Amino acid sequence: MSTIQYKAYRRRQTVRLIKRSIPYYILLLPPLIYLFVFKYMPMWGMQIAFRDFRSNTPILDMQWRGFDYFVQFFSSHLFWQLISNTFILALYSLIAGFPIPILLAICLNECRSHRYRKTVQMVTYMPYFISTVVLVSMIFQFTELETGIINVWLRNLGMTAVPFMSRSEYFRDIYVWTGVWQTAGYNAVIYLAALSGVNQELYDAARVDGCNKWRRIWHIDLPGITPTIVILLTLNLGSLINVSFEKVFLMQVPPNMSVSEVLSTYIYKIGVVNSNYSFATAAGMFNMVIAFLLVVIGNYAARRFSETSLW
């Protein structure tokens, strides 16, 4: 077969493969359109962070302000408070919430009763489907000073009722541990799927060698899900600064604002409520750059200390 004939054959094979894959391309089209319309097209508007925004003026005709809004944001008296609140809440959520799904998945994987395992998995998975609004409403009702079930129990035990939502020292604990309760079962499913892919011959060989359950977990289970742990940890580092806006905003009351005001809620109030879109866009760009740097640093550390990374 000559070179020309081979190229023609390869071209026909490619065309045949594309025609056969048309249904898959059609399925791929909606998410690509969504990605382009809602993720890439809005990037055109990011330049208002460097311009004086006017609603009745085209973006390119707006007055150029350079880095004025960034300087205004960095010199704000709330800047360091926002940064500290955001990172403390995010790190607390990561430290408390990241290991628990791993432990839950390992425990479920070691459970020999199929019915008990499915029951626990269902019970821990169900809270994930509770909406943020309903969850926060439950938190306020359970911690209500007069009729909340927690304060009723405290009174029955002879203790004093506590206004949990009005005390800034309780805000972070309530935010983090309710989030762990809501998402632990859902996140554990990912690790259970990874554990199901571990070669069963390794367990058989470990039992023959006399390894107990703890050694099997340490030498088989954890190394088997390490790539999944590394990938999810890297992705969580990227979202570290993007603390859940809805939950924080709904849990905010005036007495806890000193610890509950984070970057996402501040950007919303400045941009949407006060209509200072240029300033809010500048703060949002700062948030985005920090998130990107965290992903890059996390991926570099993962590639340096393990064999798994995002790229």
> CATH number, domain at 233?
1.10.3720.10
Tell me the average pLDDT across 293-302: 84
Spatial contact of 132 and 178, defined as CB atoms under 8 Å apart: no
Does some domain include residue 48?
A: no
Judge if 33 and 100 occupy the same domain: no
Q: Strand, helix or coil at 98?
A: coil
User: Which domain, by its residues, includes 207?
Assistant: 68-305
- As a whole number of angstroms, the distance between CA 151 and CA 132 comes to 23
Does some domain include residue 60?
A: no
Q: Which of 78, 76, 189 is nearest to 124 (CA)?
A: 189
Judge if 20 and 148 occupy the same domain: no
pLDDT at position 18: 86
pLDDT band at 301 (very low <50, low <70, confident <90, very high): confident
Judge if 24 and 134 occupy the same domain: no
Question: Would you say residue 100 has pLDDT above 90?
Answer: yes
pLDDT at position 1: 58
Spatial contact of 219 and 301, defined as CB atoms under 8 Å apart: no
pLDDT band at 274 (very low <50, low <70, confident <90, very high): confident
Does some domain include residue 271?
A: yes
Judge if 24 and 103 occupy the same domain: no
Give residue 93's region: left, alpha or beta (phi > 0; psi -120 to 50): alpha
Judge if 275 and 168 occupy the same domain: yes
Does some domain include residue 15?
A: yes
Is beta strand 51-52 parallel, antiparallel or unpaired with respect to 63-64? antiparallel
How much is the mean pLDDT over the chain?
88
Give residue 252's region: left, alpha or beta (phi > 0; psi -120 to 50): beta
Does some domain include residue 51?
A: no
Q: Strand, helix or coil at 51?
A: strand
Question: Would you say residue 239 has pLDDT above 80?
Answer: no
pLDDT band at 3 (very low <50, low <70, confident <90, very high): confident
Does some domain include residue 62?
A: no
pLDDT in tens, 41-69: 888 888 899 999 888 888 888 889 889 99
pTM of this structure: 0.84
Count of domains for the chain:
2
Does some domain include residue 132?
A: yes
Does some domain include residue 186?
A: yes
Judge if 185 and 90 occupy the same domain: yes
Three-class DSSP labels, 119-134: HHHHHHHHHHHCCHHH
pLDDT band at 2 (very low <50, low <70, confident <90, very high): low
